[in-house]
Structure formats: structure tokens, C-alpha cells
Structure 1
Amino acid sequence: MSIPLEDLFNDVIAKSMRGLGLSDADLTAKSGASAEAIAAAKSGAVDDAVLLKIAPHLNLHGPSLATMAHNAWKPADLSLPGLAQFNTTYHDMTVNAYLVWDAETKNAVAFDTGADAGPMIDFIEKHGLNLSLIFLTHTHPDHIMDLAKLSADGAVTVFVHAREACAGAKTFELGETESWESGGLKIEPRSTWGHSKGGITYVVSGLSKPVAIVGDALFASSMGGGMVSFSDALATNRKEIFTLPDHTVLCPGHGPLTTVGEEKAHNPFYPEFKSHT
């Protein structure tokens, strides 16, 4: 199943304007683009000249934004043994949850539940896996909707950062918890808060490539809304995600799988990684 990008180019514009606290009038004054042109871009009108004019004032990479507007890029399809993505419907959107497992021990670890944990549970049973731990990237309802069913009402231990304590989960603090191990897997938590107050990226080693389950911190060609702190959402992504090796597989809460290298090359929110030639 091919999952489309979570955001359109005008979603990126809206997120940046909201995060920076810029009105249409502010952006007009800064960029020289007309109010009408900015309103049209926010409504989805594709005009490369306008996008390239406003992007620097939104701290966005203009060419990447224009590429999004023309639907000219999506990350290469990824398949990694020991990693499964589950995409379920929540109201008018879809949400991802993930399963990572060690082929030798059959120990599996789940990340979030999505709207319906049924497909993941079926997969676990079909492949003879043992679900040993569940980790929550954050506690927005679409990501934990089916926690009771996936954890079998608490029979499987669930972890969440202490800033987002929720029923049915044990809390942890960064610093006192360096990592967990399950079979041949090692799971390291990294703080990527900003979209939510206790957002965590989990870096998993033990497969043929490193994997980072990023929740809503980052999407292919976009990022979460930075609803708690836009500046911290950007900064924690830079510090904790973009410092990972380029071949690290990124597992977002919405949209397709991607990699650190792909996001460096194509994500408009991170212009510093792009070629300036």
C-alpha cells in the first residue's frame, strides 16, 4: 500500500506562518508578494515565483516547497525485514503504528496503536511473534486509541514519557532511562517535543538498518504542527533526528516511511541541508 504525503505544500506554508506568528500582511511586508498571491498560495494555487519569494521569510527551502507544489517528489518505497507499518483510519485522516521484531527470538516491540490495533494483533499472531513492550511517541488520541486492546488491558508493559502520562502506561524520564532491550533489539529514547509536550523519538538498533520511530515530530517533506512550541519542534528534530545516519529509516505518525537522507534533501523546513549551488 502506497501512503501519500501527509501534507500539501500549502499545509507547510500554513504551519510555518502559524509557528512564526506571521499574518498575511506580515508576509506581504517581508517578501514583497501581494496579499492576493499569498492568499492564493495558502489556498493551493501553484505559482513558483510566489513560492520562491515567500519561502525564505518562512525559513523554508523554496525549491523543495515548489517541488511539493508540483507533486514531484515522494520518498522511495522502503521495505526492511523486521519492520511493519500499520495505517488505520481516524476520522478524516489516517495514522500509523509500527511493529519491530527480532527474527531469531521472535520478540516484537510496538510503537503506538493507531486507530485500530486489530491489523497489528493479527500480524503478530500470523507470524508467531511475542509482543514484549509497547512504546508511545505521544498521547494524542489517534496514536493511542486502541491501547487497551493492544496491551491486553495491561498484560504488555507500555511506556510513555512522564510529561504525557496516560492511563495504562508506565512513565519514564530521559536521563534515568537510557535504553531498553528486547531480544536482539535495543530501543533508545530521544526527546523530540514541540508538537506535543513529551514527544519521543525511539531509535531502534538490531535490524539491518537503524530505525527511528518519530511520531508526529517529522513527516516526509514536512513536520508536525509544533502546537506546543514550533521553535522547539524544529530544534529537537535537528538535534535528535537529523544527527542520525542518513540511511536511518524514519517512521512517521502519518504519511510514508522516509529516511534521514531523503529529508535532508527534500524537507522544506530544513533548508540548511540543501545545496546552495
Structure 2
Amino acid sequence: MSIPLEDLFNDVIAKAQRGLGLSDSRLAAQSGLSVDEILDARAGKADYAQLLKLAPHLKLHGPSLVTMSHNAWRPVEVNLTGLAQFNTPWNDMTVNSYLVWDVETKNAAAFDTGANAGPMIEFIQKNHLNLSLIFLTHTHPDHIMDLAKLSVNGAVTTFVNERESCDGGKTFRIEDTESWQTGALKIEPRSTWGHTKGGITYIVSGLERPVAIVGDALFASSMGGGLVSYADALATNRQEIFTLPDNTVICPGHGPMTSVGEEKARNPFYPEFK
């Protein structure tokens, strides 16, 4: 079963309004809509014309927002040898974790654990893979919940940015860390903070397409909330993710996989690429 988009159009509106620090009254005054219409938009009730009026004042791409309101797009399904996505339930939502591996050596690296690492562990065993490294995109509980089980209580080294250390993780400074190697795969860390204080995107090269495991930095047609800094969340995504080749697979912490090219075309938060 395909994973639904993480965010609806009104989620995008709410994240942008909150991130920009705009009150309902101020946004209404800027856009020409009433406060009630702003509230309706955040509740998922807005028409085409209202969305196009709102978007510029939220620094969003209006037509992409309209497309989202019609549920008219979802990313092309990704099938890439050496990459597997695991989607596990967490409260009333789901969370993703990922596995990449070198098909020759069978060396594998895991990214986050999800709420339950059981499906990933079963996959590793079934395919006779050797889990050599674990990487954490950030340390929100839904992403590290099963770290002890996946790492076999620390037998497999887990790396985490020193800006948000956690039990069982070996910290690294991104300024001092160029990359890791497992089999023929190279894994490079990039700082995509803003959703959390130490969010990391991991760029994997050595498969048929480049892969970016982005955690909650970016979602299909959306992004993680700028809980620490909305401005820096936008800026680091632009600098570290949107500069990657268009065919790069984006592996988000929630929702379906997508690509850099698709996000340039469809993500309302990045109007400059349209």
C-alpha cells in the first residue's frame, strides 16, 4: 500500500504562517481575506482564489498549493536496488526508516529506527545483509525508538550529530566529518537543521541514483515544521538538498519517497524553482 502524503495544503499554510510569525489579523490585512477565511484555510476549507491570495504573503507557490488542495499529485514510486523503506505506526501517524546496502559485499547501513525496527531486522536477515553502521537524522522519539534492538545494544555503531546526542549514539562534528564508507557506498553528512537543532541529511552515493536521507527536513510537497528555526530550515534545505542532482531520491522521515526534481516542481515552500 502506498504511503499517503505527510501534509495536506492546510498543514503547509499553518507551518508557513507559524514560521513567519504572522497573526491571523496581520495575514488577513496583507492578503485581503477575512480572519474567518484565514481560519477556514487552516481548517482545510479554502477555494482556488483564496489560496492564490494567501500564498504570496506566506512566501509559498500558489499553484502548487492549489494542486495539493485537489489531491492532484503524488511522487513517482521509487524502486531502487540497494534501498528499502520501512514504514511503522507511531500513535496516530507513521514514521519511516531506511536501509541501504552494497549488493556486492552485502554491507548495509540503516538510517533511523522508526517506531519498530522489527521489519528492518527481518529484511536484513532474509537478504543475508551485514548491518555495519546506523545513522540518526535527528533524535525525536519516533525516529530512535528502537535503537537498542537495531544496534544489538550497541554492537553496531550508531552515529548522531553532537548537537543532539542520545543514549547509544556516537557523536560526530559535521565540521570534522567528510564521509563514511561501507562496501562501495559512500555516506556524506550535511547539516539540515531548523526542524531540530542538529538535523542531518545523509547523501548516499554508489547506487544507480544518488540518495538523500533527509529525516524531517523535507517531505513530499512539504517540509518539517521549523521548530527551532523556520528560516534556517528553509535555508539549509535550499543549500544542502535542492543543490543535489534532480534525480536524487529523497527519503523523508514521513510520507512517500520523492526526488529533488519533483520537489523543485511541486513543493510550495520553494517557489523560486517553479
Give the alignment's TM-score, normalised by structure 2.
0.99
The AA in structure 2 aligned to 1:234 is L
1:27-106 matches, cutoff 5 A: 27-106=27-106
Q: How is 1:125-274 mapped onto 2 (pairs within 5 angstroms)? A: 125-274=125-274
Provide Cα deviations, 1:11-53, integer angstroms capped at 9, x if missing partner. Answer: 0000000000011101111111111211111111130100000
Distance in structure 2 (CA, Å) of the matches to 1:208 and 1:187: 14
The one-letter code of the counterpart of 2:262 is E
Gap regions ≥5 residues in structure 2: none
Aligned-partner residue type, residue 54 of structure 1? L
Aligned to 1:115: 115
Is the contact between residue 46 and residue 70 of structure 1 (CA under 8 Å) also seen in structure 2? no
Partner of 1:76: helix, strand, or coil?
Answer: coil
Q: Distance in 2 between matches of 1:36 and 1:171?
A: 48
Identity of aligned residues (%): 76
Q: CA RMSD in A?
A: 0.5
Q: Deviations over 1:96-125 (max 9, x none)?
A: 000000000000000000000000000000
Q: Distance in 1 between matches of 2:161 and 2:223?
A: 20
Residues in 1 aligned to 2:36 and 2:177: alpha-carbon distance in whole angstroms: 51
Question: What is the CA-CA distance between 1:175 and the residue it aligns to?
Answer: 1.8
Q: Which runs of 4+ in 1 moved over 6 A?
A: none
- Structure 1 residues 55-101: Cα deviation after superposition (integer angstroms, max 9, x where no partner): 00000000000000000001011100000000000111100000000
Report how far residue 149 of structure 1 moved. 0.1
Q: What letter corresponds to residue 59 of structure 1 in structure 2? A: K
Paired residue secondary structure (1:233): helix
2:18 counterpart of 1:12: no
Shift of residue 245 of structure 1? Answer: 0.2
**1:231, distance to aligned residue in structure 2 (A):** 0.2
Q: What whole-Å deviation, never above 9, does each CA across 1:147-172 have from its counterpart, x for those lacking one?
A: 00000000000000000110001000
- Structure 1: state its 5+ residue gaps: none
Distance 2:195 2:183 in 1: 31
> What SS class does the counterpart of residue 223 from structure 1 fall into?
coil
The aligned length equals: 274
Contact 2:37–2:46 (8 Å) recurs in 1: no
